[in-house]
Structure 1
Amino acid sequence: AINIASLGGQVRLIGLIGDDEPGRTLENLLTKHNVTCKFEHLQGFPTITKLRIISRQQQLLRMDFENGFPEFAGERLLKIYKQHLNWANVIILSDYLKGTLNNVKNLIELAQQSGSIVLVDPKQQNFTTYQGANLITPNLVELEAVVGKCPDDSTLFHQGMRLIEEHQLGALLVTRGEKGMSLLQPNKKPTHLPTHAREVYDVTGAGDTVISVLAIGLASGLSLIQATQLSNIAAGIVVGKLGTATVSLEELEHAVCEQWTPNKGLVTESALLSLAKAAKNQGETLVFTNGCFDILHAGHVAYLQDASRLGDRLIVAINTDKTVRDLKGPERPINPLKQRSAVLAALACVDWV
């Protein structure tokens, strides 16, 4: 929920907590992070609490304090769910086998009737429970517990497609740790995405990041493949942080620019604006200069090298052929715009032209 809120999404969180101090602390923290809480407070049930023991930036131990809600009937929670169905574009059902989603099949059916997209993070081995969901996001271990070992992409594809057909799923997204993730859809080739993690400090919450970024991507109008690519990049960011972490909009924008936009060279105006914004968000200093650069000589190169030392990124704007003629006469330029741009972009001291 906080992942979605940190990316600018509106999110309402429905669930069960105890009528105790941990429950009140949880609700206050979520509210501070712009999450609207719609909790049912249960008497006699403690709020589920997880304690992580960390030493020298390494998680040594996790202690869970819980009883779950095994006999929870869910009538009031179902009423809250129905009240907010028409508000949501996308619904995430995160099933941790604690009892909150004992009737998850009914929740999926109600969401379908309202026209909402349903994403499920599954924990049950009986995937019939999730029948009709638009997408489920098991990790590889969870998938193999249902279909058996998947030692290669081919086995994963065939077993995954069998699940999709049997349970009428819209798609299956399998997170595979250091192997990235695989998206399977009916009547389409599989999409295998490599991991974008540079360094892995802590994988806690990576799956939650994947499904939350998927949700906000789909709610914003992205295609499923585009939203999956975005969630893969986001997961690569959070595993580089210690503890349960979120990804910010600025971090995601910067990572997307690195992934999908050239780091150097010729760029369009819109790409330059995105790159410049991302650079500023990272605290980088931008240096801008312009000129005709018709016949590039050593003086030009020295000037540009000096300019690049003034900051972190050097942007060079170049005059069009028409403005060069206006400035230098009808016989100029000697080198047309395309050639002048290519020469400038090849210089090591120039970031973007």
Structure 2
Amino acid sequence: MKLSMPRFDQAAVLVVGDVMLDRYWHGATNRISPEAPVPVVKVEQIEDRPGGAANVALNVAALGAPAWLVGVTGQDEAADSLAERLHAVGVDARFQRIASQPTIVKLRVMSRHQQLLRLDFEEPFRTDEAALLAEVSTLLDKSKVLVLSDYGKGALKNHQALIQAARARNIPVLADPKGKDFSIYRGASLITPNLGEFEAVVGGCSDEAELVAKGLKLLAELELGALLVTRGEHGMTLLRQGFPALHLPARAREVFDVTGAGDTVISTLASALAAGEELPQAVALANLAAGIVVGKLGTASISAPELRRAVQREQGVGRGVMTLDQLLTALEDARAHGEKVVFTNGCFDILHAGHVAYLEQARALGDRLIVAVNDDASVARLKGPGRPINSVDRRMAVLAGLGAVDWVISFAEATPESLLEKIRPDVLVKGGDYGLDQVVGAEIVIRQGGEVRVLGLVENSSTTGIVEKIRRQQ
């Protein structure tokens, strides 16, 4: 399956559900209490993170998508902490604050990256359903996807009213379900139970065939658009009526903490769909995102650059020979990481010591080096009959094998000016005795805020000289 990085900046997502604060007390454990056989933790750091539906909204914002959040909290310090942290990452949070009830807080005591104890502070909320629906209805007009993040804590009581409000506007509804009654999600575009939640509703599944059969039956009964069952180390399974089951393997290299993994799945899925991705591609992106987040400690999110790099690894476009589309994706990631991009170009017909030294000098001017190579027809026009000696695919393969070179791309025009307009390098490098005003493309790079450098060449090293020497010895 071909994956690409969606444009999340216009992918507005509305999250509605049970918000909570994940609070962490970190400290060293060096002794056992004299009062009871329990470790004593000297608390040295207190950390607050948005949890539940708030973590879903946080994940949406971390991908660069506009995020709204509607939920219920108390009128207390925990709600203030939640609001502050969500606002800091760009989430527009609309809390229904109930003074007589506490904000849900999950307190975890941590030592040496291990969880020793969890304490929950919560009561089921007495949500004002009409007020919540009114708030959601207002925000739906700005949104492309609605997410129901249900933890069974009481914020969501009128599921059907919310689903119907979204469907009336042709807005997809994604639900992360809770409990044994999935009928409350009837008519949703997609629900994302984990395997345990799914089997609690449909019964145990001895193999994938039984899981698929029971899943398709549930789809029909509840009039769902799709069903995504997350299956831990076995990956995830997407079911749709009229389509073969899509089984995706787990992508985690190392599982450190599964806290919030379901939040990452549904947030990535919702953001990708809001950005216009087809459902199978959106699910594959969510699977990649889940593989990243379970390698982190505690309730965590992934950023757009992290996901982009995972997509590049998936497509095999980390380094080497690239198409223009692949290169532009790689460049977007490089710039997101603050990397300086260097560009040079040439025929590189027979690679020699002068080329290697020159490319190493060019690479030293930045963090990434792009080498643009003239295709065979343009080399013939520049160098005359009998050139190139090596075809463009062979020339690019050799260049891609050099440690100094990150990306190689070919071009057919007489000059690389069209490429320079699209690539916008930070540094344009040319070798030889050129003045800056003689370097092709210099004006383009300087206009875009870059610089132009001319590097010397190694003496007595040239492809033309090598070719003439070979001809003389024949």
TM-score (norm. length: structure 2)? 0.68
Corresponding position of 1:139: 194
Tell me by how many angstroms 1:266 deviates: 2.0
Q: Tell me, what secondary structure is at the counterpart of 1:38?
A: strand
Change (3 A) 1:80 1:277: closer
SS of equivalent residue, structure 1 residue 52: strand
Q: CA deviation at 1:93?
A: 0.7
Alignment match of 2:155 (pick from 71, 96, 100): 100
1:84 shift after superposition: 2.3
Pick closer, same or farther for the CA change 1:285–1:80 going to 2, 3 Å: closer
Report if aligned partners of 1:295, 1:335 keep a CA contact under 8 Å in 2: yes
Query: Which residue in 1 is equivalent to 2:317?
Result: 262
Give the structure 2 partner of residue 180 of structure 1: 235
Task: Note the alpha carbon deviations across 1:13-48, whole angstroms, 9 max, x for none.
Answer: 111111222122212221222111221111311111
Q: Is the 8 A contact 1:6 1:247 kept in 2?
A: yes
The TM-score with structure 1 as length reference comes to 0.90
Q: Which runs of 5+ in 2 are unaligned?
A: 1-56, 409-474
Q: 1:5 aligns with which of 44, 52, 61?
A: 61
Q: How far apart, in 1, do the equivalents of 2:66 and 2:354 lie?
A: 54
- Report the counterpart of residue 459 of structure 2 in structure 1: none
What is the CA-CA distance between 1:273 and the residue it aligns to? 2.4
Matched, 1:249 2:304: yes
5+ long unaligned stretches in structure 1:
none
| Greater fraction helix | 1
Aligned partner of residue 94 in structure 2, secondary structure:
strand
- Matched to 1:76, the amino acid is A
Report which stretch shifted further, 130-139 or 322-331. Answer: 322-331
Counterpart Cα distance in 2 of 1:307 and 1:195: 40
Give the superposition deviation at 1:60.
Answer: 2.6
Cα distance, 1:177 vs structure 2: 1.1
1:14 aligns with 2:109: no
- Of residues 72, 76, 83 in structure 2, which corresponds to 1:27? 83
Equivalent residues, number: 352
Give the 3-state SS of the residue equivalent to 1:244 in structure 2.
coil
8 A contact 2:198–2:229 mirrored in 1: yes
Q: Secondary structure at the match of 1:294?
A: coil
Whether contact under 8 Å (1:257, 1:278) holds in the other structure is no
Which residue of structure 1 lines up, in the alignment, with residue 26 of structure 2?
A: none
> Which 10-residue stretch deviates more, 115-124 or 307-316?
307-316
Checking the alignment, whether the CA contact within 8 Å between 1:204 and 1:244 is kept in structure 2 is yes
Q: Which moved more, 1:182-191 or 1:20-29?
A: 20-29
Matched, 1:128 2:183: yes
1:51 paired residue among 82, 86, 107: 107
The runs of 4+ residues in structure 1 deviating greater than 6 Å are: 305-312
Give 1:238's aligned residue. Answer: 293
Distance (Å, rounded) in 2 between the aligned partners of 1:159 and 1:151: 11
Per the alignment, residue 461 of structure 2 pairs with none
TM-aligned CA distance change 1:58 to 1:336, over 3 Å: same
Rg (Cα) greater in structure: 2
Q: What's the offset of the Cα at 1:174? A: 1.0
Q: Is 1:67 matched with 2:123?
A: yes
C-alpha offsets along residues 101-141 of structure 1, whole Å, 9 cap, x if unaligned? 12212221222112211000100211111110000000111
Shift of 1:270: 2.2
**Partners in 2 of 1:191 and 1:168 — Cα distance?**
19
% same residue: 53
Shift of 1:233: 1.3
- Name which of structure 1's ranges 162-171 and 187-196 shifts more when overlaid on structure 2: 187-196
How many angstroms does 1:62 deviate by? Answer: 2.0
Aligned to 1:218: 273
Checking the alignment, whether the CA contact within 8 Å between 1:48 and 1:68 is kept in structure 2 is no
CA contact (8 A) 1:131 1:169 kept: yes
Secondary structure, counterpart of 1:196 in structure 2: coil
Q: How far apart in 2 are the matches of 1:4 and 1:181?
A: 20
Contact 2:133 2:161 in 1 (8 A): no
Equivalent position to 1:341, from 396, 416, 419: 396
The separation in 2 between residues aligned to 1:12 and 1:295, in whole angstroms, is 57
How far the C-alpha of 1:287 sits from its partner, in A, is 5.6
Paired with 2:128 and 2:377, the residues of 1 have a C-alpha distance of: 75
Name the CA distance, whole Å, in 2 between partners of 1:149 and 1:156.
8
Match in the other structure for 2:215: 160
Retained in 2: the 8 A contact 1:287–1:315?
yes
The 8 Å contact of residues 294 and 340 in structure 1, kept in 2 or not, is answered as yes
- Label 1:307 to 1:33 Cα distance change in 2 as closer, same or farther (>3 A): closer
Match of 2:442 in 1: none
